[in-house]
Amino acid sequence: MSALRLSRLSLVAGVALFFTLVAWGNLADYGSNFAFVQHVLSMDTTFQSPALMGRAITDPTLHHAAYWLIIGWQILTAALCWAGVGRLWRARNGSAAAYDTAKGLALLGVTAGFLLYAVGFVTIGGEWFAMWQSQTWNGQRSAHLFLTILGVVLLLLALPETDRR
């Protein structure tokens, strides 16, 4: 197995482990991050601009539904990445074409993780619900860190394979 293949496999495994632990943490300590989702959706720690407050969601049932959607997305991301690790491992000594084909589930998994943070946290949470305005419930910095990590993994994984084994 080449160093590049080992690197790709290890990075996808790292992403899979990250999302596994995040989902597990959200299930094991449901209330901690639920409070984050609840405050972001309620917009109760933003600047309270009347032009934006119509976006606030204050129904606890919808808070739980949004949180379960996030947790489900994290579980799906972890599962796709773990399945991708399995496929990459099985193709580790194969041809460039076989290895490129094996990347599919890993690419889907890392992309799913990227979309969770880019669309869910930066776009919807950050912009639609004005999370950036909150001094207390602002996940922008963490989301950008995760996007950077996931983006690097996605780029390395997406590069075409060569037959330099």
Instruction: Specify whether the backbone of 4 is left (phi greater than 0), alpha (psi in -120 to 50) or beta.
Output: alpha
Mean pLDDT of the 37-42 span: 98
Per-residue pLDDT of 73-122, as tens digits, reads 999 999 999 999 999 999 999 999 999 999 999 999 999 999 999 999 99
Locate the domains of the chain by residue range: 3-158
Helix then strand count (H, E) for the chain reads 6, 0
Distance CA 2, CA 11 (A): 14
Query: What pTM was computed for the model?
Result: 0.95
pLDDT band with cut points at 50, 70 and 90 for residue 1? confident
Mean pLDDT of the 42-68 span: 98
Mean pLDDT of the 132-161 span: 96
pLDDT at 164 over 70: no
pLDDT band with cut points at 50, 70 and 90 for residue 163? low
Provide, rounded to the nearest whole percent, the portion of the chain with pLDDT above 70.
98
Distances (CA, A) of 22 to 106, 124, 125, 162: 18, 20, 18, 34
Per-residue pLDDT of 114-137, as tens digits, reads 999 999 999 999 999 999 999 999
Task: Give 97-105 contacts, CB < 8 A, sequence gap 24+.
Answer: 97/161, 99/5, 99/161, 100/160, 100/161, 103/8, 103/157, 103/158, 103/161, 105/80, 105/81
Closest CA to 121 of 33, 48, 61: 33
Structure tokens at 5: 């293949």
CA dihedral (10, 15, 19, 24) positive or negative: positive
Mean pLDDT of the 3-9 span: 96
Distances (CA, A) of 37 to 32, 115, 121, 137: 9, 17, 10, 9
